[in-house]
Amino acid sequence: MIADFHTHTIFSDGELVPAELIRRAKYCGAYALAITDHADFSNIELNLSNIKKICEKINLLYGKNNKFRVLPGVEITHVPPALIKDAVNLARKSGALIVVVHGETLSEPVEKGTNLAALEGDIDILSHPGLITEDEVKLAKENGIYLELSYRKGHCLANGHIANIAKRFGAGLIISSDAHSPSDILDETKYNNVGLGAGLTKEELDKLKENAMTLLKKYKI
């Protein structure tokens, strides 16, 4: 069983409506999912207003027996570093349980300073942070923010670096799909391969799964 806290729907650049994303993830073995569409000040409130509706319905249906949980969230994306804190605060105010910030991936022109600004805010996951620095990793550990190992093409290029430096300084890691289409959705094999491909041992991979459970418990619904 796996959890995935970074996914996208038609409310940003994903291909699926939330219900189909949820169904496919559940079918692939997920016990928890966060819907974290790309967002900035123009759509944070609107996206979360819509996503919360399906989350409430699904959790009412499956949540009583703890069979499956879906959490409303956002991925703050390409917001200038100086404005990230305000965007995060708006997301929290609008009902985001899982707040992800789009990190300094090697595959996009993310503004330098994004990683640092994100790690200074009230976020849960820094997604695909690229060639993250030692000081930034130390800050992630200090603030209890998870660094993502990504399944997504392009964003996964720095997974080995992220895993290595996080292990050196004791920062938490989490595996996410960054799903935009049905083929991106993680099953157990894909999930494990992301971790093993980044150089983790089986024992370290099991720890990552515990990290996901810890994050879910933090926002118990």
Question: For residue 95, what is the domain's CATH number?
Answer: 3.20.20.140
Domain hosting residue 124, numbered range: 2-218
pLDDT tens for 51-86 read 999 999 999 998 766 789 999 999 999 999 999 999
Query: Which has the closest alpha carbon to 98: 116, 131, 129, 74?
Result: 74
pLDDT tens for 134-178 read 999 999 999 999 999 999 999 999 999 999 999 999 999 999 999
**What does the angle CA 113 – CA 93 – CA 118 come to, to the nearest 5 degrees?**
15
pLDDT tens for 116-131 read 999 999 999 999 999 9
Report d(CA 80, CA 98) in Å as an integer.
20
Report d(CA 137, CA 144) in Å as an integer.
10
User: In the prediction, which pLDDT does 28 show?
Assistant: 97
How many domains in the chain?
Answer: 1
